[in-house]
């Protein structure tokens, strides 16, 4: 019994650390996008043909623009700042891979008692490798928006698998005091809205990138005027309002169905606070010329919201225990 407790605690702690690390990778990925560093390394897995990228243009061949051309197009001028941001993004991805590999190793004891914990951890590890391959395709496609969207969705799928394995590696239940036939339906709706928000967000980002290339950095404060009337921007904003309304409704349901000290209620409250924070960051982006750091924060907060919604869904579908009075 003591050994079982030890490996459960070890797996849970390392699993949580891995989830946090994945969210950090999402933040770094957002920083890559917001700073325009996605093509800082035009090849993959090396960077300008080197395992450690150059720090000075003199370390590159004279014809580097054509030698490392992407889809037949010359790359932009070498920018050490963008190159190293993209390179650090890749390094963080490698570290995440090692984290998830260790998560799989720590899941071995579950092969007999709860094999799905091990196998889902293994699937998450395989997805990390697939994510790396997709990353190479993102570079090869010259940052095609649909590839970036897939890249983001796979990251969230990895988060979902890790949350599921960590949650289900523990034996516990949350008491639900009365029945509510609509609860699970609203949970599913909230997840769908969150998914739409993330996908529409990548489309909005594409519009921003287009305007940025058209006007240049010196006119950042003018960017919003050129896409705020676009349908995708209006939809993205409308879905965020709908997400807040659904999440608020769910919070009232949690309040009547569960103890306020329960993990479900706390997550519901956290989702509301994060949605408000995301709305604030969105307002800052539009009104202050898309500050680069705020762009990355906006993306990361959205990902954390999705992660908490996934956690709530797992708890409600798998860990609630209704009692009769």
- For 61-89, how does the pLDDT look when each residue is reduced to its tens digit (9 = 90+)? 888 888 888 777 777 788 888 899 888 88
Would you state the structure tokens that stand for residue 160, as one six-digit string? 């979902």
Q: How confident is the model at residue 139 (pLDDT cuts 50, 70, 90)?
A: low
Cβ-contact 282, 201 below 8 angstroms: no
β partners of residue 70: 73
Burial of 80 (0-12, 13-18, 19+ CB in 10 A): middle
pLDDT at 2 over 50: no
pLDDT at 193 over 80: yes
Residue with tokens 């963080």: 92
Helix axes 145-168, 292-318, angle to 10 degrees: 40
Question: Structural domain boundaries of the chain?
Answer: 1-171, 172-325
Give pLDDT tens digits for 250-273. Answer: 999 999 888 888 899 999 999 999
pTM: 0.84
Q: What are the respective helix, strand and coil percentages of the chain, to the nearest 5?
A: 75, 5, 20
CATH class in words for 172-325: mainly alpha
For 192-209, the DSSP string reads: HHHHHHHHHHHHHHHHHH
Nearest-angstrom CA–CA distance, 273 and 120: 31
Task: Report whether 319 contacts 167 (CB < 8 A).
Answer: yes
Q: What is the pLDDT of residue 285?
A: 84
């Amino acid at each position: 019994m003591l050994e079982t407790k030890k490996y459960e605690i070890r797996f849970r702690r390392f699993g949580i650390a891995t989830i946090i690390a994945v969210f950090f990778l999402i933040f770094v990925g957002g920083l890559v996008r917001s700073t325009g560093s996605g093509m800082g390394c035009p090849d993959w897995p090396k960077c300008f043909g080197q395992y450690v990228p150059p720090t000075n243009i003199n370390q590159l061949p004279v014809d580097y623009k054509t030698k490392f051309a992407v889809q037949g197009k010359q790359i932009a001028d070498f920018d050490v700042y963008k190159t190293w941001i993209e390179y650090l993004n890749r390094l963080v991805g490698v570290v995440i891979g090692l984290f998830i590999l260790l998560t799989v190793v720590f899941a071995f004891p579950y092969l007999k008692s709860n094999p799905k914990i091990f196998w889902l951890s293994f699937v998450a590890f395989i997805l990390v490798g697939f994510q790396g391959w997709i990353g190479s395709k993102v570079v090869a496609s010259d940052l095609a928006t649909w590839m970036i969207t897939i890249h983001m969705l796979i990251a969230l799928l990895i988060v979902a698998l890790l949350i599921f394995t960590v949650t289900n590696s523990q034996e516990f239940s949350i008491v639900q005091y009365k029945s509510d036939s609509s609860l699970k339906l609203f949970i599913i709706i909230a997840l769908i809205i969150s998914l739409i928000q993330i996908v529409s967000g990548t489309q909005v980002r594409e519009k921003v990138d287009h305007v940025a290339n058209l006007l240049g950095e010196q006119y950042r404060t003018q960017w919003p005027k050129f896409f705020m009337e676009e349908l995708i921007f209006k939809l993205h904003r409308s879905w965020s309002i709908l997400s807040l309304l659904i999440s608020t409704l769910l919070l009232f349901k949690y309040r009547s169905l569960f103890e306020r000290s329960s993990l479900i209620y706390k997550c519901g409250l956290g989702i509301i606070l994060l949605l408000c924070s995301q709305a604030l960051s969105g307002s800052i982006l539009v009104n202050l010329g898309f500050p680069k750091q705020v762009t990355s924060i906006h993306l990361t907060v959205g990902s954390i919201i999705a992660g908490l919604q996934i956690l709530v869904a797992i708890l409600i579908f798998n860990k609630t225990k209704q009692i009769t009075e």
